[in-house]
């Protein structure tokens, strides 16, 4: 009986945790060339920047402060402004909104030293039920949901660093492939020249019969 009660309590707690949108924040294996990075944000002390800093540190990334923008030897992660909005997802019978779909998105760029600029972005959607009878609780719930969405966006942006690493590897392979083709073509040209016999002038041989002496 006790075992059954404990099982029911654990099940209920898992359902409540899943329903409130709570997610464990995991560690992302950031590539070596991005293990030290400059974090550039127009709102360095805002909630989104704080969440991104937290996710970078959880992934063992060293954050370098560069307020003057003079560091050109390490990658830079530039965070754009946060964009949010909501739209009606469902309505009550009287036509009033019953459920909203909340949206939050952020665009960022990764600047690799001496290389290219890679745009990355993250977008999150959440549903929110509007209860007109609990206005104060509704505002508090919305703020909690927004903070959870910022945390999810921060996780997405850190994971997108893996796509930057993959793009760098793909470009390096393309450069190596072009060099290999050029080298191979030069060698083939040299080999073809070596196999072609040198031109020589041949003296025509007369096939006319020799003249006989007069009898």
Q: Convert the pLDDT of each residue in 184-208 to its tens digit.
A: 444 444 444 544 444 444 444 444 4
Share of the chain above pLDDT 70, in %: 67
* pTM, full prediction: 0.66
Which spans in 20-69 are helix H?
47-58
CA atoms of 160 and 158, how far apart (whole Å): 5
Structure tokens at 130: 């509007």
177 pLDDT tier (thresholds 50, 70, 90): low
Res 17 pLDDT > 70:
no
Radius of gyration in angstroms for the set of CA atoms belonging to the chain, rounded to a whole number: 35
Closest CA to 60 of 39, 35, 34, 38: 35
- For residues 97-110, give the mean pLDDT: 93
Res 55 pLDDT > 90:
yes
* Dihedral angle, C-alpha 203, 206, 207, 212, nearest 10 °: -150
Q: Convert the pLDDT of each residue in 64-102 to its tens digit.
A: 988 888 888 999 999 999 999 989 888 888 878 888 899
20 pLDDT tier (thresholds 50, 70, 90): very low
190-199: long-range contacts, CB 8 A cutoff, minimum separation 24: none
Q: In what order do the strands lie in the sheet with 97-111?
A: 62-64, 36-41, 76-91, 97-111, 117-129
CA atoms of 52 and 29, how far apart (whole Å): 15
Q: Convert the pLDDT of each residue in 125-141 to its tens digit.
A: 999 887 777 766 778 88
CB-facing half-sphere around the CA of 165: CA atoms within 13 A: 12
Three-point CA angle 18, 20, 22, nearest 5°: 65
- For residues 114-122, give the mean pLDDT: 91
- For residues 53-69, give the mean pLDDT: 92
Res 53 pLDDT > 60:
yes
């Amino acid at each position: 009986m006790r075992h059954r009660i404990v099982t029911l309590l654990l099940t209920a707690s898992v359902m409540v945790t899943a329903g409130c949108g709570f997610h464990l924040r995991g560690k992302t294996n950031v590539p070596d060339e991005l293990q030290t990075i400059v974090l550039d944000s127009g709102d360095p002390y805002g909630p989104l920047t704080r969440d991104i800093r937290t996710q970078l540190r959880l992934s063992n990334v060293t954050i370098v402060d560069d307020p003057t923008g003079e560091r050109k030897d390490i990658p830079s992660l530039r965070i754009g402004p946060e964009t949010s909005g909501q739209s009606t997802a469902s309505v009550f019978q009287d036509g009033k909104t019953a459920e909203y779909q909340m949206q939050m998105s952020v665009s960022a760029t990764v600047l690799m030293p001496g290389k290219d600029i890679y745009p990355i972005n993250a977008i999150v959607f959440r549903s929110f039920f509007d209860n007109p009878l609990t206005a104060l609780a509704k505002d508090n719930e919305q703020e909690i949901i927004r903070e959870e969405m910022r945390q999810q966006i921060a996780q997405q942006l850190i994971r997108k660093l893996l796509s930057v690493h993959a793009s760098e590897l793909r470009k390096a392979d393309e450069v190596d492939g072009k060099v290999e083709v050029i080298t191979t073509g030069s060698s083939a040209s040299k080999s073809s020249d070596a196999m072609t016999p040198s031109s020589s002038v041949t003296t025509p041989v007369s096939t006319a019969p020799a003249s006989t002496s007069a009898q």
